[in-house]
Every structure is written in C-alpha cells, then in structure tokens.
Amino acid sequence: MEYTTLGRTGTTVSQLCFGTWRFGRETGGVVETDREQAHALLDAAWDHGINFIDTANVYGTPNGTSERFIGEWLDDHDREDVVIASKVYFPFDGRGEPGPNDSGLGRKHVRAQIEGTLERLGTDYLDLYYIHRWDEETPIEETLRTLTDLVREGKVHHLGASTMAAWQLTKALWKSDANGLERFDVTQPLFHAGYRDDITDYLDVCADQDLAVCPYSPLAGGFLTGKYERADEDDPTAFEGPHGARGSLDDRFEDYYLSERGWRVLDEIRSVADELDATPAQVSLRWLIEQQSVTCVPIVGARTVDQLQENVGAVDLSLSDEQFDRIVDARYDESGARWGHRS
C-alpha cells in the first residue's frame, strides 16, 4: 500500500479509503453485507494496508449498524492505527421514527449524533467528521461553531464536507476564516471518470484551498468495473448485468450512474485496461488517484473480498499521460464542450 497526506492535515492515509455504506443495509428484505461479511471485508482491507475507513451515522438498517459493525471490529485492533470518518445530516432512524430534531446540521442534532456515533464506534474521537449534505435551514455559522466546539473538545480531529456546490463550499470556508472557526479540510463529492456532471469549479476550490478530495462511488456503483453491458443503443439507461449486483438491487442505479457519456468513458477505460493488463475497476480508481491538482483518495465500496482485492491493485498501477488524457478526452462532448455543460 502507498500512503499520502490528507490535504493540509497532518494525517497519513492509504491511497484508498474503504467505504461501509452497504454494511447492514437491507434492500428488499435482504441484508447486503452482514456482520460476518463486514468483518471479513475490514480484515481484508486492513491486511492490504488500508487504514482509512468511511462510514456515516445513517448507514445500515436500522441506521447506526455500519458504525456498530466497525466498532465491534475495532475491539480487536488498536484504535490509533485507524483513521475513521463518519458523517451527520440525514434523518437518523436508529432510535425509532426520527423526530423533528433528528436531522440537519443544527447544534442540537449534531451534538446528539456525535455522541451516538462515538458510542457505536467505541471510540472517544473521530479523525474526520463530515457534514453529509448542505443544510438549507440552518445558518452555516451555527454548524461551523458547533463543529469547532467538537474539535476543541477533542471529539473530532478534522472536518469534512460532502456533496455540495462550489459556492457553498467557498462560503463555508470564508465563514470559518472570517470568524476564526475550524475549516473543512476534506471534501467528499460524487466523482468518477464516467460522471455525467462537471465538477470542475468544485475541484478548483479544493485545489486552491488544498482540500483533500475523497470521491464516493468511484466505480459508479460498479458500472466502471465493466461488468454491465449496454442493452439498447438508443437508451443509455438500458443495461444487462449480473444478478444480485447493485444494478439489479437498486432502483436508482441507472439514474445515478448510467449516461451516454458514461458508456463512452467505459469503452476508453476498457481499452486502457487491456493495454496495462489490468481491469477496468483498477484503471478507474487509478485515474482518480492520479488527479494532478488535488490529493484524491477514492472511497472504494467492495461487497466481496475478491472485489476488494482487485480494487487494491489500483495502487500498483501507473497510467501514462496519454492514457490518462484519453479518459479525460472521452469525458468531453463531441462538440468539445466539457462534461455536463449545458451551454
């Protein structure tokens, strides 16, 4: 495993983070990753040198199950060896039906949630605490003041921001600086080679401010592994794929991850993978790790140990400039417009 410094923090993490979104999650009455499988995956990640784990208070059925599985696994490990990130924002159902203050980024909810998160993980601090989304209802100053208190109390080491517009991220950083508050050091956007939206402005903010970028769904939920085939030339959302994979389980799969451009990018990734005797999953992850302007640490979300083993191979790969650029070029419109630009 290779290690990198997480943006401007002093924290050293593996080049891949391990994501635990599907731990204990019930889809159609089936638990996707049960406790035993979750621990086998964490063991495999650990054995491969991954020291960075991503979770959230709302992961699992009921919410909190993912954090609980990780906490049980941590009982047999030294907490100081592991970098743990969790998140807050979404309605939390872990205590039953969520009440009016069981969501968002207000002081009351954040302070209650950090206590539950620390308890389930069996730790007295988080290395990284993300806001999972932007909260339209709560002034960002209130959230930043609350998070700053958590840092100063030692409950959280660094702050992160997931899934927001470039202007929101910029505003939050400005509010921190203007008010002497802790600032976000790490971001977590949806970003992968086949992503249909352009997040160039967002990445420019991260580069300028030296914020680490930890992309989620770096394999587009499995689409960029190449295990799905296009089923209709006129409809990019029509696909065939293995039974039991996310594409067959999750209704939102095609809306989230499939697009005309996505298939074009996948073709290029497959061609680069052939040249390198690698797999499309490895090339897709490597393309993220090799981003030039930011420290980029993809959050891989394998469901099986074999998948994880394959994905970790991305660390030993190297793309030539020409191979990297071919994937970038496939992200452009035929007109030359940037990915996702509507003008």
Ligand X SMILES: NC(=O)c1ccc[n+]([C@@H]2O[C@H](COP(=O)([O-])OP(=O)(O)OC[C@H]3O[C@@H](n4cnc5c(N)ncnc54)[C@H](OP(=O)(O)O)[C@@H]3O)[C@@H](O)[C@H]2O)c1
Which of the stretches 138-146, 215-223, 231-239, 312-320 binds ligand X when contact is defined by CB under 6 A?
215-223
3-state secondary structure of 336: coil
Which of the stretches 107-115, 167-175, 258-266, 305-313 binds ligand X when contact is defined by CB under 6 A?
305-313
Asked if 305 is part of the footprint of ligand X (rule: CB under 6 A), the reply reads no
Asked if 117 is part of the footprint of ligand X (rule: CB under 6 A), the reply reads no
CB of residue 50 to ligand X, shortest distance in Å = 13
Q: How many helices (H) and strands (E) does the chain have?
A: 12, 14
Asked if 301 is part of the footprint of ligand X (rule: CB under 6 A), the reply reads yes
CB of residue 129 to ligand X, shortest distance in Å = 13
Q: Is 59 a catalytic residue?
A: yes
Q: Where are the beta strands (DSSP E) in 115-263?
A: 126-131, 156-162, 184-188, 212-213, 229-230, 239-240
Asked if 312 is part of the footprint of ligand X (rule: CB under 6 A), the reply reads no
Asked if 169 is part of the footprint of ligand X (rule: CB under 6 A), the reply reads no
Q: Within its chain, how far is the Cα of 178 from the centroid?
A: 29
Q: Which of 59, 89, 228, 257 is catalytic?
A: 59
CB of residue 179 to ligand X, shortest distance in Å = 26
Among 13, 22, 159, 297, binds ligand X (CB under 6 A): 22
Q: Within its chain, how far is the Cα of 259 from the centroid?
A: 20
Asked if 128 is part of the footprint of ligand X (rule: CB under 6 A), the reply reads no
Give the torsion sign (CA, 43, 282, 264, 330): positive
- Rg of the chain over Cα atoms, rounded to whole angstroms, equals 19
* Pure H helices in 14-132: 35-47, 65-74, 107-121
Among 311, 312, 319, 331, binds ligand X (CB under 6 A): 311
CA distance 332 to 5: 31
Question: In the structure encoding, which two tokens stand for residue 18, read together?
Answer: 């391990």
Asked if 221 is part of the footprint of ligand X (rule: CB under 6 A), the reply reads yes
The residues, any chain, with a CB within 8 Å of residue 306's CB and separated by 6 or more, are none
Asked if 300 is part of the footprint of ligand X (rule: CB under 6 A), the reply reads yes
Tell me the catalytic residues. 59
* Footprint of ligand X (CB under 6 A): 19-22, 54, 132, 162-163, 188, 216-222, 225, 227, 245-246, 281, 299-303, 307, 310-311
